[in-house]
Amino acid sequence: MYNELTPEEAYIIERKGTERPFTGKYLSNKAEGTYTCKRCDAPLYYSEHKFESHCGWPSFDDEIPGAVKRVPDADGRRIEIVCANCAGHLGHVFTGERFTLKNTRHCVNSLSMNFVPEKLPALAEKVYFACGCFWSKEYLFQETEGVLATRVGYTGGTTEFPTTVQVTHGKSGHAEVVEVVYNPKVITFEDLAKLFFDAHNSTDVERQGENNTGKYRSGIFYFTENQRNTALRLKKYLRDKGYESVTQIEQASSFYVAAEKYQSYYKKKGEVPTLKSHQLFE
């Protein structure tokens, strides 16, 4: 069973119509979340795929893998995009316009979509930790009681929608980070921050081990003043002990989710990474 559509929605989704430019409700939406198919609720796009093209319709430079199907128009001039689950009309896809590094623009009717905002569980808080390769560090936080969810990705740079290659070679300015969503009633930010400092060498500038491109630099990207003040206090504590931490402590900014193959890397492989504790807070 599909969702009931209004006449305007049916005109777009079932009869392949187009809404008037600059009228769609999601044109200027910048909230974090997931765009889903209006007819069948299948997830289509994440908010990080969305960008401003000034074309009059919501624009995305990527889709959730397997969510969107491309179909040549009958006249052969354009490529239609439809929901891969229900074949509902979304819009058209264009390439070669160079709006973003992915060089792709999904031009989508707002009436073809719903938007599900990202909601943290009640009382939950979030922080981004940069402490070397995010594969092993995500595993560490996943195994910590009180952590509700994790994702790996990139933040702290200047390039919008950075590619993995750009981050790896230091061309985007981003760091590899683990997004940690946690319940502060179960584990405090201070305990998480201590785990963060113990899990890597925060005295190395712009590097961990042999990688010196900046993607492995040490950083805490905070969302609350409590997180900021606690991080500064712990950093001072370490310096007073003679441990010259160079950890960057910055307000959280744009977060770009890494490719699905990097998420929960060790969990998917069924392996346990080698983790070292510097035991700084004993």
Residues whose CB is less than 8 angstroms from the CB of residue 29 and which lie 6 or more positions away in sequence, other chains included:
50, 58, 115
In the annotation, is 55 catalytic? no
To the nearest 10°, report the CA torsion of 248, 252, 254, 255.
80
Per DSSP (E only), the strands in 135-277 are: 147-155, 175-182, 218-222, 248-251, 256-257
What Cα–Cα distance (Å) separates residue 182 from each residue in 159, 185, 233, 267? 28, 9, 20, 19
Q: Which of 40, 55, 86, 133 is catalytic?
A: 133
Instruction: Write the DSSP symbol of residue 225.
Output: H
CB atoms within 10 A of CB 201: 17
In the annotation, is 37 catalytic? no
Q: Which of 37, 83, 107, 131 is catalytic?
A: 107
Which residues are tagged catalytic? 107, 133
